[in-house]
Amino acid sequence: MANSDRPNADISHVYRGTFIHSTQQTALQILEDQLLGVDTHGKIAFIEKGAELNRLSQSFGFSPSAVTQLAQHEFFMPGLVDTHIHAPQYSYAGTALDMPLLQWLNAYTFPVESRFKDLEFARRVYTQVVQRTLRNGTTTACYFATIHTDASLLLGQIANDFGQRALVGKVCMDRNNCVKHYKETNQESQEETCRFIAELLNKKYPLVRPVVTPRFAPSCTGALLGQLGAIAKNNNLHIQSHISENAEEVKLVKELFPESESYTDVYHKYNLLTDKTVMAHGCYLSDAELALFRETGAALSHCPNSNISLCSGMLDVRNVLKHKVKLGLGTDVAGGYSASMLDAVRRALDTSKVLTIQDPDYQTLTFEEVFRLATLGGSHALSLDDQTGNFEVGKDFDALRVNVAAADGPIDMIQCEGPKVILEKFLNLGDDRNIAEVFVAGRKVVPFSPSLNIASMSVSGAGS
């Protein structure tokens, strides 16, 4: 190796076995008998054929005997990226799925979210949601919190403590006619957003960032949307919100913002569509609106469990991809009842099949395409694809060590299968019992470190 190719960091771990990931060119790349080295900064230093062991060990200075060999039914895949999840709503996940969106928000969501003023309640729920999502392989999560700044900061702290990569948003809403005590004044929303951003950035958590979070157009005045657009721009921050989820909501936005050409135009007008924006849902976007997403670089988060559970609609993913709009998957807990991204993968495939039932010419998504949406697609949608999403040299090692044949797991391996079949079985049948280890930026975050003192964190709120 030439001097200029020499690594500039020491190797901390080397793994040998099957690696499965996506690239821009191919939805599924299966790399068998590979060596992947992780440096002391948690970055991928090399990924090369196993036959190169001697050369790699010499040039990177590690001992071949220190290589961790995966077992026959094991493989590594990139960590799952949840591009849209409401952390406080985890407290009622799996219930309250009997109403459409606007009624559901008033009956269940706003009353529950208003309880997050209570920091002990927030600590309990936020610890549980971070633990649950990590165990299910979510290495990156884009979270909505609530309007409460201190509880939102606590969510950032808990994600950092457990080692999850996270975008965290303090929710902004200065309009709420139904649950009157769950809203802010315009001034509070602006000031508290600025405090949230400043305090979270000041913590210097390596993997946790603030995201500007207008709840959705019906919860915000035009004045607030404009102020949030300016705050995001001045601080070069991510933005998240909801768009075109349900027909009644789209109609309401037309009434509230009569001067705008479309729902997308409302956000565009207030500078909320940027290449660091992710909008959940988009079931009813027109082609012209998708073109505006493409032009601005804004992304969509497809949340199929939520779309079905709240009877909202079905996203035509094929059309979104045709418009070259960045797209990831989201659980949208608790409109979506499952916090697992494996469920999001299955529901995305189901939804695509329903569209094919309705129109046999519709080109159903393949499991390979949905695998890409759940990993590289999500990282791209969150503009984090320079850091995570696949196993490219220089990216952080965010990975799941999957064992399809885990003892007492949900999958019976009847015969010896190749890696593509093993991946398909895991995506369709697997759960957290198959996820032996989870890594974020090279750090093993599952199983949880005993130093996290988890029992006391979730019961009485220790572990500041």
Ligand X SMILES: O=c1[nH]c(=O)c2nc[nH]c2[nH]1
Q: Which does 338 bind (CB under 5 to 8 A by kind): Zn ion, ligand X, none?
A: none
CB closer to Zn ion, 11 vs 280: 280
Judged by DSSP in three states, 132 sits in helix
Question: Considering the rule CB under 6 A, would residue 105 count as an interface residue with ligand X?
Answer: yes
Pairing relation of β-strands 238-243 and 277-281? Answer: parallel
| End-to-end Cα separation, the chain, in angstroms | 47
Query: Residues 318, 323, 326, CA angle at the centre, nearest 5°?
Result: 85
CB closer to ligand X, 43 vs 84: 84
Q: Which does 355 bind (CB under 5 to 8 A by kind): Zn ion, ligand X, none?
A: none
What is the spatial distance between Cα 257 and Cα 126, in angstroms, rounded to a whole number? 35
Judged by DSSP in three states, 141 sits in strand
What is the smallest separation between the CB atom of 193 and ligand X, expressed in angstroms?
17
Residue 230 — φ and ψ, nearest 5°? -70, -40
Q: Which does 170 bind (CB under 5 to 8 A by kind): ligand X, Zn ion, none?
A: none
What is the spatial distance between Cα 138 and Cα 374, in angstroms, rounded to a whole number? 10
Residues 351, 304 contacting (CB under 8 angstroms): yes
Residues 45, 9 contacting (CB under 8 angstroms): yes
Q: Which does 123 bind (CB under 5 to 8 A by kind): Zn ion, ligand X, none?
A: none
Query: In the range 414-453, which residues lie near ligand X by CB under 6 A?
Result: none
User: Which amino acid is it at 137?
Assistant: G
What is the spatial distance between Cα 254 and Cα 248, in angstroms, rounded to a whole number? 10
Which span (69-77, 93-101, 307-315, 332-340) binds Zn ion, by CB under 5 A?
332-340
**Which residue of 113, 184, 289, 332 would you call a contact of Zn ion, by CB under 5 A?**
332
What is the smallest separation between the CB atom of 220 and Zn ion, expressed in angstroms?
15
What is the smallest separation between the CB atom of 49 and ligand X, expressed in angstroms?
45
Query: In the range 39-98, which residues lie near ligand X by CB under 6 A?
Result: 86
Residues 341, 139 contacting (CB under 8 angstroms): no
What is the spatial distance between Cα 125 and Cα 112, in angstroms, rounded to a whole number? 12
Q: Which does 343 bind (CB under 5 to 8 A by kind): Zn ion, ligand X, none?
A: none
CB closer to ligand X, 256 vs 405: 256
**Which residue of 91, 109, 190, 193 would you call a contact of ligand X, by CB under 6 A?**
109
Q: Which does 245 bind (CB under 5 to 8 A by kind): Zn ion, ligand X, none?
A: ligand X
Q: DSSP per residue over 317-355, as a string?
A: HHHHHHTT-EEEE---BTTBS---HHHHHHHHHHHHHHH
CB closer to ligand X, 86 vs 380: 86
What is the smallest separation between the CB atom of 311 and ligand X, expressed in angstroms?
12
Question: Considering the rule CB under 6 A, would residue 215 count as an interface residue with ligand X?
Answer: yes
Which span (61-69, 196-204, 272-280, 360-368) binds Zn ion, by CB under 5 A?
272-280
Residues 415, 365 contacting (CB under 8 angstroms): no
**Which residue of 73, 135, 165, 242 would you call a contact of ligand X, by CB under 6 A?**
242
Which span (101-109, 189-197, 368-376, 395-403) binds ligand X, by CB under 6 A?
101-109
Judged by DSSP in three states, 266 sits in helix
Measured over the CA atoms of residue 246, residue 252, residue 256 and residue 261, the dihedral's sign is: positive
What is the smallest separation between the CB atom of 141 and Zn ion, expressed in angstroms?
13
Locus of tokens 């909202």: 312
What is the smallest separation between the CB atom of 203 and ligand X, expressed in angstroms?
26
Q: Which does 425 bind (CB under 5 to 8 A by kind): ligand X, Zn ion, none?
A: none
What is the smallest separation between the CB atom of 308 and ligand X, expressed in angstroms?
12
Which span (16-24, 127-135, 213-221, 276-284) binds Zn ion, by CB under 5 A?
276-284
Residues 246, 309 contacting (CB under 8 angstroms): no
Q: Which does 216 bind (CB under 5 to 8 A by kind): ligand X, Zn ion, none?
A: ligand X
Structure tokens at 139: 């290495």
Total of chain residues touching ligand X, rule CB under 6 A: 11
Query: Residue 202: how many CB atoms within 10 A of its CB?
Result: 8
Judged by DSSP in three states, 55 sits in helix
| Contacts with ligand X, 318-357, as mask; x by CB under 6 A | --------------x--x----------------------
CB closer to Zn ion, 332 vs 385: 332
CA distances from 374 to 63, 261, 358 (A): 35, 32, 25
What is the spatial distance between Cα 316 and Cα 352, in angstroms, rounded to a whole number? 8
Summarize as ranges the residues that interact with Zn ion (CB under 5 A). 280, 332
Summarize as ranges the residues that interact with ligand X (CB under 6 A). 86, 101, 105, 109, 215-216, 242, 245, 306, 332, 335
